[in-house]
Amino acid sequence: MNSLFLFHLAGLALLGLGLFGLVQRKTLVGMLISVELLLNGAGLSIVASAKLTPADDVLGQLSSLLIMGLAAAEATLVLAIILVVLRRFGSVETDTIATLRD
Amino acid sequence: METLALFAYALYLAIIVGGGFVAVTNPNLVRALVGLVAAMFGVAGMYFLMNAPFVGLMQLLIYVGAISVLIFFAIMLTRPPAGGEERATSRRRPMAFVAAAAPVALLGTVCLKAFEQTVDVPGETGIKELGQGLLGTYGLAFELISVVLLVAMAGAVLLGFKRREEA
């Protein structure tokens, strides 16, 4: 087992935990936390792949920065969406706001 | 990897897995956020271990400094009178486990089989090269992420204003 796979293993652990949380959580805030875990894992894997293979190092590090910017934008928008949902349904639990299913 | 690096790696991995586990399972959302912050610190440690100190510091600044505060705002603004607890779920756990395990197993096999490591000790890339890349080769991505951030901010402000008009 080389160190590239070890770093990918950490990214995979974050991926698994994030997906688990995304399905299992019942509130939008909990799901937001899980998505942040997923994005962290993605950035870690990209930097590891760029650092330990002949791929362009600058490309890998800048991709990770791009992911961080996207995560910041996503967190801002999700916060605003959560506020609107709370205003409209009075709750942020996914079972309460599943009106399309009824 | 050297023995010392392996030790540091094991420590960071333990922080990531422990923090991530708390983040996805703890019914109290504030404690879950603390777990998420711990996991982010672990990832920053991994970046330092990979000889990418700039990305590691950005991880600390953006994730630990900014995004965790945003999530904390979300928790505070939505906190129900009973006190931030999620109802216990047991029915969804097996489904969630399958949903997480299947992609991890697939991607893990790919990672193990497909990629070949060619560099033993990752070399250092200075901030100078990163800046030149940001303004030269990857300038388009840099401009696009600025536009995305601006649009996200404007959208968030717009949603907030609509909310107040209705009230």
Q: How confident is the model at residue B77 (pLDDT cuts 50, 70, 90)?
A: confident
Q: How far apart are CA B14 and CA B32, in angstroms?
A: 16
**Candidates B17, B46, B124, partner chain A, best to mutate (most A CBs within 10 A):** B46
The yes-or-no verdict on residue A81 having pLDDT over 60 is: yes
pLDDT band at B167 (very low <50, low <70, confident <90, very high): low
* Cross-chain residue pair B107–A43, CB shorter than 8 Å: no
- The larger pLDDT score, comparing residue A98 to residue B34, is at B34
Q: For B28, name the nearest residue in chain A, comparing CA atoms only.
A: A30
Chain A residues near residue B44 by CB distance under 8 angstroms: none
CA dist., res. A78 & res. B27, Å (int): 20
In this predicted structure, the answer to whether residue B73 has a pLDDT above a threshold of 80 is: yes
With bands split at pLDDT 50, 70 and 90, how would you rate the model's confidence at A90?
Answer: confident
- From the list A21, A53, A72, which residue is nearest B115 (CB)? A53
Separation CA A91–CA A27 (nearest Å): 9
Distance CA B88, CA A78 (A): 24
pLDDT of residue A46: 93
Q: Is the pTM of this model over 0.80?
A: yes
Give the pLDDT confidence score for residue B22 in this predicted structure: 94
Six token digits for residue B55: 């990305």
Average pLDDT rounded to a whole number, residues B48-55: 91
Q: What is the mean pLDDT of chain B?
A: 86
* Cα–Cα dist B55/B43, whole Å: 10
A8 within 8 A of B14, measured Cβ to Cβ: no
Rounded distance between C-alpha atoms, residue A43 and residue A45, angstroms = 5
| Stretch B124-137: mean pLDDT | 88
Please state the ipTM of this predicted complex: 0.91
The DSSP code for B76 is H
What's the pLDDT at A1? 66
- Cβ contact (<8 Å) for B74 and A82? yes
Q: What digits encode the pLDDT tens for the residues A2-17? A: 888 889 999 999 999 9
B2 min Cα distance to partner chain A (Å): 10
Task: Report the C-alpha gap between B52 and B132 in whole angstroms.
Answer: 16
CA-atom Rg of chain A in angstroms: 17
Q: Searching chain B, which residue's CA lies closest to the CA of residue A31?
A: B24
Contact A69 B145 (CB under 8 A): yes
Q: How distant, in Å, are the alpha carbons of A1, A3, B44, B141, B150 from that of A63?
A: 26, 21, 15, 9, 19
Residue A9: closest CA among A33, A41, A38: A41
- DSSP string over B127-158: HHHHHHHHHTTTHHHHHHHHHHHHHHHHHHHH
- Please give the Cα distance from B110 to B167 (Å, whole number): 52
Q: Over range B26-46, report the average pLDDT.
A: 93
pLDDT at B145 over 90: yes
Residue B164 banded pLDDT, cuts 50, 70, 90: low
Q: What is the pLDDT of residue A65?
A: 93
pLDDT at A14: 94
Above pLDDT 70, what percent of chain B? 89
pLDDT of residue B119: 77
